[in-house]
Structure 1
């Protein structure tokens, strides 16, 4: 009987400790919720950044490809002018140098595009073990 009364009265004596444990558990739950929300925000930002990188690289590729096409025409014109007029070879060399730089820009933009796709893949959870 004493044991039964003791087990009924014991929670009354431990009430402060039980309340403190409850507050600690609630605080830990709130902390976990905030950490989860922050990880969602971080993941969303990672996906957004990867999409922006990929899309901007695609736009640069398009612009640089148009520039390359224009510079190819300029090179042909410079070669024809050199062949049929008294224009010197320096104009042809300058046109070739500009074309080469534009082609290098296209290659760098293609690399950025691929890197953007890889970053997007990772941001969406790909490649995780």
Structure 2
């Protein structure tokens, strides 16, 4: 089972039913297709594997779950749960800044930091997390 937590609403989806499950999740939760957000992917032991962002966050998560993303192609079968944080008021740049900050602070197993510490901590100064 894949556990998806969207800001406190928890959905359990069988891996083989992931596409239908995401469609139903969108319908039941009211999450629009163009939802900006940050997501975290975990393995069955709760180890943080990957942090990402997307302007169509559920579609992005679906690509990861199916192994269709170059970022997660080598480990997508390890993914057992997903935590999604919707950020409808954040710009693309703000979401990217937050993603890099979270990667720096939480150190997921498969992410690579793209920015310097200096840039990350200066970019994140205005955020309330």
- Kindly indicate which of the two structures has a greater share of residues assigned to strand: 2
TM-score interval, smaller chain: under 0.3
Alignment TM-score, normalising by the size of structure 1: 0.20
- When Rg is computed on C-alpha atoms for both structures, the one with the higher figure is 1
Higher helix share: 1
